[in-house]
Amino acid sequence: MTDAIYPQVRIVTERLMNPETVERVMNLIIGTGGVRRVILNGPRLPPTVPYGPAKGLPNPTEYRKKIKIGDQDVQLEVHVGNIVLELENRDFIPAIREACEKGITKFSWYLQEGRFMKTAPSLVDYAKYGPDADRDIIGLTEPGKSGLVILQGTK
Amino acid sequence: MAYKPQFGPGTSTVAENRRRVMDPTKKLEKVRDISDEDIVLIMGHRAPGAAYPTMHPPLTEQQEPDCPIRKLVTPLEGAKHGDRIRYIQFADSMYNGPCQPYLRSYIASYRYRGVDPGTLSGRQIVECRERDLEKLAKELVATEIFDPARTGIRGATVHGHSLRLSEDGMMFDMLQRCILDKKAGVVKYVKNQIGEPLDKEVKVGKPMDEKWLKQHSTIFHSLVGVPFRSDQEYIEYVQRVHALRTKYGFMPTE
């Protein structure tokens, strides 16, 4: 969850992005220095076939890759279509826009300002994770999955 | 006067395409070649060349009850031999996919005998006797109602119909059953329709270009294709059906 005092932006692309594009644009975005939190959002790419007669078989796809953001390895578990950012303040938005212009060149995209991250745990969060769940994680990632990644050295 | 089916309303290219592919008197345009073996591999119901497993003895060997309907209806080849009932399932992208789930069921019902088509939200399944299914599936894949990038043959985990395309123009597939070979520009299946890896890649041809897809699309799309609101006749028809259905229980007159 997040404090509602920080501005948030969402970058939506016309196409679902390849890991290489995500890596390129994310490094440019992180380089602006004003990003507090990031959610990479999109349809899930499971490591094994989740259901059907082939359930449990490995599911190799070229989009489920490890990418490098800053100095940190990030395992992509989704085919990224939206990038949600929480910023230090609104002054960074032009720099983020510029980063996207450099990073996403093959297709169109747009940047929206608004509120895209959870500010309070939902009933489902309570049912899933109980009353003592880590409130910093809720809404950013699924607890119990691979968890979040803390990018070092951006401050 | 003999009844002449109209197949559907509309003046747009989408409406025209819908009428053309539904009409059994018009032949579907063939756009690619696919071998019998390849279709069997993609569907994954039996090994290529293996005998058809049966679920009952051939009709000639079993006692049929004295039934006037059985005398009227000629059984399909598969039914004669007692084949199993198997399926093929398609997912179609709404980004100018050359076919779409509801239309597929109409096509199957108008064009083929002995099939059980079923439409779900973003996918469509056709069930049939195995050897007849293979013939039917070959026609569905080799003709204009299939595009290697915008149509997927998917038995399970079908999600993709309403999602954005990937960078190379392929419809999202969680299991990535088919991949675009960037050098050859050809789409090849590396997994069968339920996601089991294939021993041999199956090539299904080049993705059609945007112009062809837009001309042959059977789905309205306000951003990338023909907007639904541009077809006045279609809107009037849909509104009329809606009004009549709503009023029917109350006052079944117009």
Tell me whether residue B77 is in a domain.
no
Query: Which residues on B lie below 8 Å from A18 (Cβ)?
Result: 166-167
B146 φ, ψ to 5°? -130, 140
CB A32 within 8 A of CB A75: no
What pLDDT score was predicted for residue B247? 81
Lowest pLDDT segment from A38-42, A85-89, B62-66, B125-129: B62-66
Question: What one-letter code names the amino acid at B187?
Answer: V
Measure Cα distances from B62 to B81, B85, B105 in Å.
11, 19, 32
Q: Kindly determine whether residue A13 and residue B164, on different chains, have CB atoms separated by under 8 Å.
A: yes
Q: Kindly determine whether residue B166 and residue A63, on different chains, have CB atoms separated by under 8 Å.
A: yes
* Per-residue pLDDT band at A83 (split at 50, 70, 90): very high
- Listed residue (B106, B142, B92, B89) closest to B18, CA to CA: B106
| Residue among B164, B179, B196 whose CB faces A81 most closely | B164
Tell me whether residue B114 is in a domain.
yes
Tell me whether residue B7 is in a domain.
no
Instruction: Tokens for B175, please give them.
Output: 């299991």
Query: Which residues on A lie below 8 Å from B167 (Cβ)?
Result: 15-18, 21, 106-107
Q: Where are the alpha helices (H) located in chain B, listed in sequence order?
A: 13-22, 36-43, 68-72, 77-81, 101-111, 130-142, 210-216, 232-248
Burial class from Cβ neighbours inside 10 Å (0-12, 13-18, 19+) for residue B215 reads middle
| Closest residue, chain A, to B169 (C-alpha) | A15
What pLDDT score was predicted for residue B107? 95
Q: Is A105 on the interface with B (CB under 8 A)?
A: no
- The pLDDT tens digits of the residues spanning A91-109 come to 999 999 999 999 999 999 9
- The pLDDT tens digits of the residues spanning B159-210 come to 999 999 999 999 999 999 999 999 999 999 999 999 999 999 999 999 999 9
Q: Is A20 on the interface with B (CB under 8 A)?
A: no
Q: Is the pLDDT of residue A144 over 60?
A: no
Q: Kindly determine whether residue B174 and residue A106, on different chains, have CB atoms separated by under 8 Å.
A: no
**CATH number of the domain encompassing residue B40:** 3.90.320.20
What pLDDT score was predicted for residue A126? 86
Query: Which residues on A lie below 8 Å from B163 (Cβ)?
Result: 16, 43, 81
- Domain containing B133 equals 13-51+83-249
Q: Is B37 on the interface with A (CB under 8 A)?
A: no
Percent of chain A with pLDDT over 70: 92
Q: Mean of the per-residue pLDDT values for chain A?
A: 88
Q: Is B224 on the interface with A (CB under 8 A)?
A: no
* Per-residue pLDDT band at A152 (split at 50, 70, 90): confident
Tell me whether residue B59 is in a domain.
no
What pLDDT score was predicted for residue B109? 95
Tell me whether residue B175 is in a domain.
yes
Mutate to test the interface with B, among A61, A78, A107 (most CBs of B within 10 A): A61
| Residue among A16, A44, A59 whose CB faces B166 most closely | A16
What pLDDT score was predicted for residue A118? 84
What pLDDT score was predicted for residue B3? 87
What pLDDT score was predicted for residue A124? 85
Query: Which residues on B lie below 8 Å from A52 (Cβ)?
Result: 155-157, 194-195
Tell me whether residue B68 is in a domain.
no
What pLDDT score was predicted for residue A130? 82
| Length, in residues, of chain B | 254
- The end-to-end CA distance of chain B, in Å, is 25
Tell me whether residue B66 is in a domain.
no
Q: Kindly determine whether residue B156 and residue A14, on different chains, have CB atoms separated by under 8 Å.
A: no
Q: How many domains does chain B have?
A: 1
Tell me whether residue B8 is in a domain.
no
Distance from CA of B100 to the nearest CA of A (A): 21
Report the C-alpha gap between B214 and B198 in whole angstroms.
32
Q: Kindly determine whether residue A14 and residue B179, on different chains, have CB atoms separated by under 8 Å.
A: no
Mean pLDDT to the nearest integer, A42-60: 91
Query: Which residues on B lie below 8 Å from A14 (Cβ)?
Result: 164
The more confident residue out of A26 and B122 is A26
Mutate to test the interface with B, among A22, A24, A63, A80 (most CBs of B within 10 A): A63
The more confident residue out of B121 and A83 is A83
Q: What is the ipTM metric for this complex?
A: 0.87
What is the value of pTM for the model shown?
0.90
Residue by residue, pLDDT tens for chain B (254 residues) are 788 889 999 999 999 999 999 999 999 999 999 999 999 999 999 999 999 999 999 999 988 889 999 899 999 999 999 999 999 999 999 999 999 999 999 999 999 999 999 999 889 999 999 999 999 999 999 999 999 999 999 999 999 999 999 999 999 999 999 999 999 999 999 999 999 999 999 999 999 999 999 999 999 999 999 999 999 999 999 999 998 888 876 766 65
Centre a 10 Å sphere on the Cβ of residue B163 and count the other Cβ atoms it contains: 20
Q: Is B198 on the interface with A (CB under 8 A)?
A: no
Angle at B155 between CA B154 and CA B160, to 5 degrees: 40
